């Protein structure tokens, strides 16, 4: 019998009473790993009301005490890193090393949450007017909600609930229905770390469950990560219901290659950043912009890309895994087909086979050159192991091209010139910039900062901005009067 995945309500696993279940498939084999429940209205209501009740005592828990739970939690995540990575690899398809990286980048956020107290400190100014002082506190919000995508089943939930909970809130997590098992493991370990029951609830399901959650009057703040149309929908609906929303969406990231760059390092970085994790990273490089004579390297890039092959998660030979689903494969191969009429296809990964895994969602490395910005393959987020090459004459032309793109998640430049790097860093309209670093995902003491259509909202993930997102600020202005003689006299008389 297929395993039925539980919800996580009240600090423990709870069997859902739903009649609607979603099959979770191993993308390398199509084996059914489990069935995930589409939580019922009552189950969602019960999760939110227990989170709301837990909030009133959790917000009174001193921040250092909350941090201690996070210290224990990061320790348990490290001890269980391999086990989490194995669950993650099976349901998501990414290679074991990549899955361990997914968990590790989440652990780094938990480490930050374990050091929350200084970030919660308020501000003081004495004598804002004579004998009047002002100061501010940060205070917890209430029940917060996280809705996460399939591509980082550990890291992205861990961007959200540890920061929100360390700030004194309680949390409902709705992970992707395509790989929901990792979230249950994260929740179990959180309880094991000593988190009081009801701080974290895991609700499974799809659009219907999200719709109920984002409209619920007791949800104070929503963090979303996923595709552009859904991100826009969550932002619009959440704010319409007067909630605080941060919505991280899709991307089309460019790497600018200058002719003075280190050729081998540039090519190595381009290959890893474009096809690693089967290109299913919001920070993947999907467009290489060759400036001037650097276009001569495209032939060498092709040779290197041809060497990297997809395969199962537990083989050291696998450069990357399958794409998440048969539907995703169909969409990507459709775009590759379209691209053949729009540009030159140097490598076509559409008909990729992996020995022993005839049913996997395999797509091999794919490379296009001579790509035009009007083409479908340029305008669409392909989210597969596909790299597009564009040629321009100057750095100014490259910057103009990147800035004209509607997305602004990540970008990078490879160059030996400090002057070119400085110009690029200063003028580029993208949130995360790499200089000779292909995937510049910031560590959690900074913020993850998409721009333009890659982000809707005003405060970004993790770091100081996340603390501002998950807290309210209360400002007090204070004045104390001296007791005057008359009232002192009255007081004395009264006392007699």
d(Cα 444, Cα 41) in Å, to the nearest integer?
Answer: 35
What are the two backbone dihedrals, phi and then psi, of residue 107, each rounded to the nearest 5 degrees?
Answer: -60, -35
Active site residue 389: no
Nearer to ligand NAD, 91 or 381 (CB): 381
d(Cα 149, Cα 128) in Å, to the nearest integer?
Answer: 47
Tokens of 19: 């009649």
Among candidate residues 282, 345, 352, 389, the one labeled active-site is 282
The DSSP line for 207-263 is HHHHHHHHH-TTEEEEEEES-HHHHHHHHHHHHHTT-EEEEE----EEEEE-TTS-H
User: Among 147, 231, 148, which Cα is nearest to 454's?
Assistant: 231
Residues facing residue 388 across a β-bridge: 287, 368
Nearer to ligand NAD, 249 or 439 (CB): 249
User: Among 32, 93, 78, 140, which Cα is nearest to 328's?
Assistant: 93
**Residue of closest CB approach to ligand NAD:** 226
Nearer to ligand NAD, 20 or 227 (CB): 227
d(Cα 343, Cα 161) in Å, to the nearest integer?
Answer: 43
Which residues have C-beta within 8 Å of that of residue 80, sequence separation ≥ 6?
185, 189
Question: Which residues would be at the binding site for ligand NAD (CB under 6 A)?
Answer: 147-152, 174, 176-177, 206-207, 210, 225-227, 230, 233, 248-251, 282, 381, 383, 409, 450, 454
User: Residues 160, 240, 379, CA angle at the centre, nearest 5°?
Assistant: 70
List residues with catalytic annotation.
Answer: 282
């Amino acid at each position: 019998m297929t395993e039925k995945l539980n919800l996580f309500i009240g600090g423990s696993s709870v069997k859902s009473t739903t009649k609607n279940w979603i099959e979770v498939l191993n993308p390398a084999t199509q084996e059914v790993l489990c069935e995930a429940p589409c939580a019922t209205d009552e189950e969602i209501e019960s999760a939110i009301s227990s989170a709301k009740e837990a909030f009133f005592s959790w917000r009174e828990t001193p921040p250092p005490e909350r941090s201690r739970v996070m210290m224990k939690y990061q320790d348990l995540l490290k001890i269980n890193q391999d086990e989490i990575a194995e669950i993650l690899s099976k349901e998501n398809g990414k290679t074991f090393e990549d899955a361990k990286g997914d968990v590790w980048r989440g652990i780094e956020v938990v480490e930050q949450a374990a050091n929350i107290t200084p970030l919660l400190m308020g501000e003081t100014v004495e004598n804002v007017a004579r004998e009047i002082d002002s100061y501010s506190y940060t205070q917890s919000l209430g029940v917060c909600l996280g809705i996460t995508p399939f591509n980082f089943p550990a890291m992205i939930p861990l961007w959200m609930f540890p920061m929100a909970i360390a700030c004194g809130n309680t949390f409902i997590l709705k992970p992707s229905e395509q790989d929901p098992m990792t979230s249950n493991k994260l929740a179990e370990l959180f309880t094991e770390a000593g988190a009081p029951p009801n701080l974290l609830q895991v609700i499974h399901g799809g659009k219907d469950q999200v719709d109920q959650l984002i409209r619920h009057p007791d949800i104070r703040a929503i963090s979303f990560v996923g595709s552009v149309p859904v991100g826009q929908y969550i932002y619009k609906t959440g704010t319409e219901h007067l909630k605080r929303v941060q919505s991280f969406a899709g991307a089309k990231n460019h790497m600018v290659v200058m002719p003075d760059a280190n050729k081998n390092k540039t090519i190595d970085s381009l290959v890893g950043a474009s096809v690693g994790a089967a290109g299913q990273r919001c920070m993947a490089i999907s467009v290489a912009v060759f400036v001037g004579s650097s276009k001569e390297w495209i032939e060498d890039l092709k040779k290197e890309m041809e060497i990297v092959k997809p395969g199962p998660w537990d083989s050291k030979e696998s450069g990357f895994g399958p794409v998440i689903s048969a539907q995703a494969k169909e969409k990507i191969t459709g775009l590759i087909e379209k691209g053949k009429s729009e540009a030159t296809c140097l490598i076509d990964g559409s008909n990729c086979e992996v020995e022993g895994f005839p049913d996997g969602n395999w797509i091999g490395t794919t490379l296009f050159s001579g790509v035009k910005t009007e083409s479908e393959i340029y305008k669409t987020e392909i989210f597969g192991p596909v790299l597009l090459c564009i040629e321009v004459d100057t750095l100014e032309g490259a910057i103009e091209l990147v800035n004209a793109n509607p997305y602004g998640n990540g970008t990078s430049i490879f160059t030996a010139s400090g002057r070119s790097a400085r110009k690029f860093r200063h003028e580029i309209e993208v949130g995360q910039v790499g200089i000779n670093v292909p995937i510049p995902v910031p560590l959690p003491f900074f913020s993850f900062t998409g721009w333009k259509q890659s982000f809707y909202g005003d405060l970004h993930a993790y770091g100081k901005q996340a603390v501002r997102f998950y807290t309210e600020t209360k400002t007090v202005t204070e004045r104390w009067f001296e007791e005057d003689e008359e009232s002192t006299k009255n007081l004395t008389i009264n006392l007699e």
